[in-house]
Amino acid sequence: MNLENLKSKFNQLTLESEDHWDYRGNNKSERDYVHGFCTYPAMMVPKMQREILQVCLEQSKNKHLKLLDPFAGSGTILVEGMLQGLDIVGIDINPLAVLLCKVKTTIIDPKVLKQHTNNIACEINRLKMSQIEHHSFDGIEKWFTHQAITDLTILRNAIIKDGDINIRRFFWATFCEVIRIVSNSRDCTYKLHIKEKSDIDGYDKDAINLFLKTLSFNVDKYLTFYNKLKSTGKLKKDGVSYKGKIKIVLGDSISYLNHTKQKFDLILTSPPYGDNHTTVSYGQYSIMPLRWIQCSDIDDAFDERMLYTLNGIDNLSLGGKSTNRTMTKKRKSVLEKSATLKNQSEEIMVIAKKQVNKLIAFYSDYDSFLSAISKKMNSNAISVWTLGNRKIAKQEILMNKIMIELCDHYKLSLVTSFTRKILNKRMPEICAYTAESTKSQSTMTREHILVFTKDI
């Protein structure tokens, strides 16, 4: 990897226009190919990551790199890696994320997909004319109207009837989008908040028709992706196999990295900016769709116990456990690795004492993750991190600086960095103030992109 050329290219693009990385206008923020299958919290901008990946590949002497996204989310990086013909590995603790990653990276014969799409439409019509027992779970009548439960049950049963697990996963991804739209949860936040009674009473959605329309949209999107892979020689001669290697892991990134023997040349990712409870509630957002899906279709490692509470998945994420009992001396040692984190923790302690444990817990876990991933990087490996500086008690937590300080302990050197404005935010620009008193504070409006290399 030519680091000087890499740095020069990123700097050149950044200086060309102050909003180059914002990706606004002219369909720059479009979720093309299979990126738009299902809504997921804090999704990356595909075309931005595509350009970042292409810049990295242009400066690499090795044309068959192993690409890792340890916080894979909805699979943006993995799809972009496939478009470049790379071996890809994606890891995520969230079963919904893993489902989406598997769906987007699985090659299905277009003729087979179209035939199954026709079949499920017929099965749905058959089930509409028959008596079936409603699907049920704790709280279902709170989060869904009777009509929504009836329609979703029909769709669920129709999907289960299909004998091909890859097709079922494709249908489940479509089903998830419908669940989100027809639920009684407000759609202005990732956390579950019940709608006003008047909105629930005025429910007028046709979940079945919505599913069929969304499925048609997803099939079209998949076909563009398939045709792109085929036309650029990324598929084998059989037309239904990707030339590279694909591995999707449901689980904790730290555990996986500590046990795998594989090493990586390129890492692109956007890690969480803090514990899920107080930043982006990926798990809470995912819980309702997951309670409708046949769990065994997602992954053998799927433990249904994580669905018992609304916060079950979020509790397993970085910083998910931040009680006084878990705040050990070892966990607090992360403060000695980052002067910025230590100073900010001391300042927040004065005005929002309850938040300090959460801050330390997250960065302690994040430091353990950096330790694990640094050992799985080949010499001169490049890693690109899209970060956000969240706020606690109106104070911006400088994750970009903390990251640089922590990485220094693991021989990860900063090559360059740049920023972008976050467009189409779902979170409000003003949110609740997280100190002891009830106030408001602004949320993040910019992201930082940091490029590191693994020292020899």
Q: What is the pLDDT of residues 246-288, one digit of tens each?
A: 999 999 999 999 999 999 999 999 999 999 988 999 999 999 9
User: Residue 429 pLDDT > 90, yes or no?
Assistant: no
φ and ψ at residue 258, rounded to 5 degrees: -70, -20
Domains of the chain, residue spans: 3-103+250-285+303-454, 110-224
Q: 22 vs 29, 119, 390, 418, CA distance in Å?
A: 9, 42, 19, 11
Q: What is the mean pLDDT of the chain?
A: 92
Nearest to 256 by CA among 409, 362, 373: 373
pLDDT value at 133 more than 70:
yes
Q: What is the model's pLDDT at position 443?
A: 55
Which band of pLDDT confidence, cut at 50, 70 and 90, is reported for residue 455? confident
Model confidence at 333, pLDDT cuts 50, 70, 90, reads: very high
What's the pLDDT band for 240 if we cut at 50, 70, 90?
very high
Q: Which residue has the tokens 């591995």?
A: 247
Q: Does 436 score more than 60 pLDDT?
A: no
Tens digit of each residue's pLDDT (9 = 90 or more) over 367-395 = 999 999 999 999 899 999 999 999 998 99
Local confidence band at 433 (pLDDT 50, 70, 90 cut-offs): very low
- Band the pLDDT of 324: cuts 50, 70, 90: confident
pLDDT-above-90 percentage for the chain: 82
Rounded Cα distance between 365 and 275, Å, is 10
Whether the pLDDT of residue 59 is over 70: the answer is yes
Among candidates 169, 158, 200, which has minimal Cα distance to 182? Answer: 200
Q: Residue 437's pLDDT band (boundaries 50, 70, 90)?
A: very low
- pLDDT, tens digit (0-9, with 9 covering 90-100), for 79-92: 999 999 999 999 99
pLDDT-above-70 percentage for the chain: 95
CB 40 within 8 Å of CB 96: yes
pLDDT, greater one: 190 or 12:
12
Do the beta carbons of residue 116 and residue 308 sit within 8 Å?
no
Confidence bin at 424 (pLDDT 50/70/90): low
- Is pLDDT above 90 for 29? no
- pLDDT(26) > 80: no
Check pLDDT > 70 for residue 431. no
Closest CA to 77 of 248, 315, 293: 248
pLDDT at 354: 86
- For the stretch 159-214, pLDDT in tens is 999 999 999 999 999 999 999 999 999 887 888 999 999 999 999 999 999 999 99
**Three-state helix/strand/coil letters over the chain:** CCHHHHHHHHHHHHHHCCCHHHCCCCCCCCCCCCCCCCCCCCCCCHHHHHHHHHHHHHCCCCCCCEEEECCCCCCHHHHHHHHCCCEEEEEECCHHHHHHHHHHHCCCCHHHHHHHHHHHHHHHHHHHCCCCCCCCCCCHHHHCCHHHHHHHHHHHHHHHHCCCHHHHHHHHHHHHHHHHHHCCECCCCCCCCECCHHHHHCCCCCHHHHHHHHHHHHHHHHHHHHHHHHHCCCECCCCCCECCCEEEEECCHHHHHHHCCCCEEEEEECCCCCCCCCCCCHHHHHHHHHHHCCHHHCCCCCCHHHHCCCCHHHHCCCCCCCCCCCCCHHHHHHHHCCHHHHHHHHHHHHHCHHHHHHHHHHHHHHHHHHHHHHCCEEEEEEEEEEEECCEECCEECCHHHHHHHHHHHHCEEEEEEEEEECCCCCCCCEEECCCCCCCEEECCCEEEEEEEEECC
Q: 433: closest CA among 278, 287, 318?
A: 278
pLDDT digits (tens, 9 = 90+) for 140-155: 999 999 999 999 999 9
Pick the CATH number of 3-103+250-285+303-454 from 3.20.20.70, 3.40.50.150, 3.40.640.10, 2.60.40.3500: 3.40.50.150
Distance (Å, rounded) from C-alpha 188 to C-alpha 185? 9
